Amino acid sequence: MTRHKCSSSRTVGGLEPGLETFAGFFERWLQEQERDLQDLIRVAKSDSESTQSVAELVNRVMGHYSNYYRVKSESSKHNACEMLTPAWRSHLEDAFLWIGGWRPSMAFHLLYSKSGLQLEAGLTELLAGLSTGDLGDLSARQLARVDELHRHTVREEKELTEKMAAHQETVADSSMVQLSHVVTELMHGGDSGNGTESVDQRVNSALVSKEEGLEQILGKADDLRLKTLKKVVDILSPIQAVHFLIAAAELHLRVHEWGRKKDAQAKESTKPTKIC
């Protein structure tokens, strides 16, 4: 436990050995993200930070994202299904999930939206030839690189979506259809001898192969998420990256809270009380 406390000031580390579920880790990750957010906001507001210290903060925050995906990948090995239908997410988030997480191309919408807000806010300065230093100030080269990355990411995203589709369809492959039939027959035939045991084994191995497929696709989806995040940050200057990471954390944390709140309200309203 002491180890936990100590690590919480820097990084949430990994799962507590033997006792922590991913859900528990996720809660700590949210707290870490909230702390990172405060640091990022502080740096964004300050004029005195050196480029180097800004870059260090960006690195640290990115390190936390890497760590999050490392732990997630470990957990997926044990239970890909659970990771794909995460109980620690609200229904709201759940509805917007793409293969167990945020859709990678959303990073570009996030960037364009935040950049747009800062552009409109700083338009007068920008037109006067002044630099605003934030995301409103994306250069031609940066925009070109973002655009290229965007197209590339959408392509990869589509490929994975196809992969997932193909894998989902295997739920009705011959072996599964045959197995489900055999099991049904057994249930009705009342035959509960040796046959059942071997059938159970067959069911298990069939399901394991399905889960392995899911784990693989989830792994690739998470890779794409982290890769996209890193590449976007690489294109940005350190201070722009700070603004981007602020927007990302704000959106993630607040949507999570709104979802939670909504879920709580929904639960409340199933009780026989008034609904407004």
Partner 1 sequence: MAGMCCGINVGETEPTSPVEPAARTGHRRRVELRQLKIISDMAEARMKRQKVGEEEKVEEEQIQLRLPASLSPPPLEVARECDNASENCSEVVAKTDGEEQAVVEEFPKFGVTSVCGRRRDMEDAISIRPSFCSKRQKTSHQSEGFHLYGVFDGHGCSHVAMKCKERMHAIIKEEIESRESEEWSETMIQSFTRMDSEVGERLANAAGDVSSSCRCELQTPQCDAVGSTAVVAVVTPEKIVVSNCGDSRAVLCRNGVAIPLSVDHKPDRPDELKRIEEAGGRVIYWDGPRVLGMLAMSRAIGDNYLKPYVIPDPEVTVTDRSPDDECLILASDGLWDVVPNETAVSVARMCLNAEKPPSPPRSPGNDAVIAADGESSDKACSDASILLTKLALARHSCDNVSVVVVDLRRNPL
Which of 55, 97, 154, 183 forms a contact with partner 1 (CB under 8 A)?
154
Q: Any long-range contacts for 249-257 (C-beta under 8 Å, 24+ apart)?
A: 249/33, 249/34, 249/36, 249/37, 249/40, 250/37, 251/110, 252/33, 252/102, 253/30, 253/33, 253/34, 253/37, 255/92, 255/93, 256/30, 256/89, 256/90, 256/93
Q: Which range, of 42-50, 122-130, 173-181, 224-232, touches partner 1 by CB under 8 A? A: 122-130
Binding mask 218-237 for partner 1 (x = CB under 8 A): -----------------xxx
Cβ proximity to partner 1, 231 vs 260, nearer residue: 231
141 touches partner 1 by CB under 8 A: yes
Q: How far apart are CA 251 and CA 127, in angstroms?
A: 29
Question: Who's near 117: CB < 8 A, 6+ residues apart?
Answer: 136
Q: Is 116 in the site for partner 1 (CB under 8 A)?
A: yes
Q: State how far the Cα of 272 lies from the Cα of 139, in Å rounded to an integer.
A: 57
Residue pointed to by tokens 């072996």: 175
CA-to-CA dists, residue 183 to 22, 195, 206, angstroms: 33, 10, 13
Angle at 117 between CA 116 and CA 118, to 5 degrees: 90
Instruction: Pick the stretch among 14-22, 150-158, 245-253, 256-264 that binds partner 1 (CB under 8 A).
Output: 150-158
**Binding residue (CB under 8 A) for partner 1 from 77, 109, 261, 262:** 109
Q: Is 104 in the site for partner 1 (CB under 8 A)?
A: no
User: Is residue 160 within the footprint of partner 1 (CB under 8 A)?
Assistant: no
User: From the CB of 148, what's the least distance to partner 1, in Å?
Assistant: 8
Does 133 bind partner 1 (CB under 8 A)? Our answer is yes
Nearest approach in angstroms of CB 123 to partner 1 is: 8
Q: Which is nearer to partner 1, 62 or 241 (CB)?
A: 241
* Interacting positions 11-50 with partner 1 (CB under 8 A): none
The SS3 call for residue 1 is coil
Distance in Å, CB of 126 to partner 1, minimum = 6
State which of residues 74, 94, 120, 212 lies at the interface with partner 1 (CB under 8 A).
120
Number of neighbours of residue 218 by Cβ within 10 angstroms: 22
**3-class DSSP state for residue 101?**
strand
How many residues contact partner 1, by CB under 8 A?
A: 37
Residue 117 sits in the site that holds partner 1 (CB under 8 A): yes
Which spans of this chain sit near partner 1 (rule: CB under 8 A)?
Answer: 105, 108-109, 112, 115-117, 119-120, 123, 126-131, 133, 136-144, 146-148, 150-151, 154, 235-237, 239-240
